[in-house]
Structure 1
Amino acid sequence: MLTLACHCGLIRVRIDRRPDYIHECNCTLCSKTGARWGYFQPADVAVEGAARGYTRADKDDPGAEIGFCGRCGSTTHFTLTAGAVAKFGNGVMGVNMRLADERDLAGIELRFPDGRGWAGEGPFGYVRPASIIGEDAGLA
């Protein structure tokens, strides 16, 4: 089990397992929130504390609501919007893995999807090859 927390500790996120991989997306939302997303089933994630939500206004169907701490501003997680749930089902929730200690993520593949170039349908392209977290630091 991993317990992650925002900078001030007001919001805690508990997950029962490590993610299979982590995305560091280059879309404007992900890059400006500083998130690296691990993906989980919503039932496998427990968020404690009152997160504030932000849904981007620059898209007709934004897809996700970003949760963040109203006190320190740390991005903590995302949930799918009603439109995305209707389109894809409620099978995914994102957790900002930057909140974890990197040693707890050693050996996990870090992928770099091209969110800026993604049209919203089909698979992502990638802007550079994947890497393994901790490999350069001798943690893997």
Structure 2
Amino acid sequence: MIALTCLCGQVRTELGKRPDFIHACNCTLCSKSGAHWGYFHPSEVCVEGDTKGYCRSDKEAPSAEIHFCEQCGSTTHFTLTADAVAKFGNVMMGVNMLLADERDLAGVEVRFPDGRAWPGAGEFTYVREARFIGEG
């Protein structure tokens, strides 16, 4: 199990497993929210504490609602919006892996997708080679 907390400790997240990989995306949403995402099925994540949600207003139908601690402002996780759940099902949520102890993530691959250039469908291209946490 991996335990994560926001800066003030008000929001606590527990994961039953490590992420398969982490995305350190350069899109405006990810870079401005200060998050590196690990992806999980909602049943694998337990979030305790009060968060506030935000959906970006520059997209007609945003797929993700970012959650952050009401006290310290740390980005904690994202959930799919109602539109995305209706389209795909409640199959994924993201957890900000920057809130984890790096020792708990040793050996996990960090990928660097070029979200700013991504057209919204299909595969990502990457801005640099992936790295593994704890190596070099």
TM-score, normalised to structure 2, is 0.97
Structure 2 distance, partners of 1:63, 1:90, is 11
Q: Does 1:61 align with 2:98?
A: no
Give deviations 1:106-129, integer Å, cap 9, x for gaps: 100000011111111111111111
Structure-2 residue corresponding to 1:86 = 86
Structure 1 distance, partners of 2:89, 2:68, is 23
Aligned-partner residue type, residue 56 of structure 1? R
Unaligned runs of 5+ in 2: none
Aligned-partner residue type, residue 58 of structure 2? D
- Tell me which moved more, 62-71 or 120-129: 120-129
Q: Does 1:19 align with 2:19?
A: yes
Aligned-partner residue type, residue 60 of structure 2? D
Aligned-partner residue type, residue 10 of structure 1? Q
Structure 1 distance, partners of 2:91, 2:116, is 23
Aligned-partner residue type, residue 70 of structure 1? E
Cα shift at 1:85: 1.4
Structure-2 residue corresponding to 1:43 = 43
Aligned-partner residue type, residue 51 of structure 1? T
Aligned-partner residue type, residue 60 of structure 1? E
Aligned-partner residue type, residue 66 of structure 1? I
Structure 2 distance, partners of 1:113, 1:93, is 18
Q: How many residues align?
A: 136
Structure 2 distance, partners of 1:124, 1:79, is 21
Structure 2 distance, partners of 1:85, 1:113, is 23
SS of alignment partner, residue 78 of structure 1 = strand
Structure-2 residue corresponding to 1:96 = 96
Cα shift at 1:88: 2.1
Give deviations 1:67-122, integer Å, cap 9, x for gaps: 10011000000000111112222111100000001111110000001111111111
RMSD: 0.8
TM-score, normalised to structure 1, is 0.94
Aligned-partner residue type, residue 132 of structure 2? I
Aligned-partner residue type, residue 116 of structure 2? R
Structure-1 residue corresponding to 2:124 = 124
Q: Using the aligned pairs only, state the percent identity.
A: 67
Aligned-partner residue type, residue 37 of structure 2? W
Unaligned runs of 5+ in 1: none
